[in-house]
Amino acid sequence: MPKIIENAREKIIDEAKRQIKESGYENVTIRSIVRGCSLGLGTFYNYFKSKDMLIATFLLEDWNERMTRVTLSTENEADPHEVIKCICDEIAQFIDSNKNIFNAPEAKKSFNNTVASYHKRLVSQLAAPIRKVCVLNGYENAEFLSLFIAESTLTWTVAGKTYIDLAPIFNKLLTK
């Protein structure tokens, strides 16, 4: 009878995160991950098809947690600037907490196409709380405005700009 390994998926994810933080993306292999959590190679493949799928899984989990925080913290917010600032902060923290992946040339090659294919969905996800507050405040064309702000926020935050850098532009966009 096969051995039941409790929390194997979580052990694999935690070990991969630890190794990436300590050794960098390029130095982490499937074999080093399973060795680090005392699991067999087959166990890894029961949960993930590849190293990239493993990493994509925990990046997505991290992103979803951040978007949940955005949703919860902006749920009763009426000020569009506070919503945008929250989004900027979460994007910046997501990038910072995963910089060992995002700065690795090998990872960039692996994930560039994936990120590009999800870009529209990501912008739409970011636009949702912005749209809500734009509608609440009676801005004309709230749909376009929220998508434009979401795209700008994502693009410029990824490029290293902070909310403070972007606030003057958002002030102009949000002036009635």
Task: Identify the CATH number of the domain in which residue 21 sits.
Answer: 1.10.10.60
Q: How confident is the model at residue 4 (pLDDT cuts 50, 70, 90)?
A: low
Per-residue pLDDT, averaged over 20-45, amounts to 94
Q: Choose between 27 and 176: higher pLDDT.
A: 27
Is the domain of 66 the same as that of 21? no
The number of distinct structural domains making up the chain is 2
The per-residue pLDDT for 150 is: 97
Residue 42 shares a structural domain with residue 59: no
Specify whether 85 is located in the same domain as 16: no
Q: Are residues 40 and 104 in the same domain?
A: no
CA distances from 81 to 45, 125, 164 (A): 45, 17, 10
Q: What is the pLDDT of residues 98-115, one digit of tens each?
A: 998 988 888 877 777 777
Could you tell me if 39 and 94 lie in one domain? no
Residues 112 and 59 in one domain: yes
In this structure, the answer to whether residues 138 and 158 fall within a common structural domain is yes
Domain residues for 16?
8-47
Note whether 40 and 68 are same-domain residues: no
The pLDDT, as a whole number, for residue 152 is 96
Residue 1 lies inside a defined structural domain of this protein: no
> Is it the case that residue 172 has pLDDT exceeding 60?
yes
pLDDT digits (tens, 9 = 90+) for 64-96: 999 999 999 888 999 999 999 999 999 999 999
The predicted pLDDT at position 3 comes to 63
Same domain, 37 and 76: no
Half-sphere exposure of 33 toward its Cβ, with a 13 Å CA cutoff?
32
- What was the pLDDT predicted at 43? 92
**Which has the closest alpha carbon to 90: 32, 135, 153?**
153
Examine the domain organization and report whether 71 and 104 are in the same domain: yes
Q: Are residues 69 and 136 in the same domain?
A: yes
CA distances from 79 to 75, 123, 151, 170 (A): 11, 20, 19, 12
